Amino acid sequence: MKHSNHKFSQLEQHLLNDFQRDMSLSATPYADMANKLNVSEDDVSQALTSFQERGVISRIGPVFRPNRIGVSTLAAMSVPPQQLECVARIISAFPEVNHNYEREHEYNLWFVVTASSEEHLDIVLNEIEQHAECPLLSLPMLDDYFIDLGFKLKWAN
C-alpha cells in the first residue's frame, strides 16, 4: 500500500479485511457488501473508488486458479529502460492482462495473460509483441502452486 500512514475509517477497514476471499457470486456485489456492513451501496462504491484513486488497491475482481477457466501464461519482455513505462501502459491496456511488474533482470517487464483458449492466447501474445515492439517470452505453467494472498490487516489506534 502506498499510503500506509493514512487513517482508515471503520468502513474502509472492513472493506479491506472482510472481502479478500469467499465473496459470493452475485450480480450486485457492492449491494451485498453494503448489506453485510449495514451501509449504503453508494458508501461502498465511493470507498472502493477512493482506494483505487489513492493507490491503496490496484484492482477489484476475482482471482481464479490458473487454467481453471481458460488458459494463461506468465510472459516476460526485455524492454529498454527509457521505454519501460510506455510499454507497461500498452500491456496493461489489454483486458487479458491483469497486472504487470518490473524486475531487475535482462527480462525486466513481467505479466500474466489469460485467455479463453490457446488460440486466443496466441493471438493476444502476438498483438502485445507487435504493439510493444519488443520480443516476448512466454513461460506457461507446468506445475500448479496456489498461494492465498489474503491476510488479516492490523490497525494502529
Give the tens place of pLDDT for each residue, 1-17. 344 446 889 999 999 88
Residue range(s) defining the domain that contains residue 19: 10-54
Q: How many domains does the chain have?
A: 2
Beta-carbon contacts of 150 under 8 Å, excluding residues fewer than 6 positions away, are: 20, 21
14 shares its domain with 45: yes
84 shares its domain with 40: no
77 shares its domain with 135: yes
Q: Assess if residue 155 is contained within a domain.
A: no
Q: Assess if residue 4 is contained within a domain.
A: no
- How does strand 136-139 pair with strand 109-115? unpaired
Residue 120, classified by CB atoms within 10 Å of its CB into exposed (0-12), middle (13-18) or buried (19+), is middle
- Which of 32-36, 62-66, 93-97 is predicted with the least confidence, judged by mean pLDDT? 62-66
Q: Does residue 33 register a pLDDT over 80?
A: yes
Q: Assess if residue 89 is contained within a domain.
A: yes
**Cα separation values, 108 from 52, 83, 112, Å:** 25, 11, 14
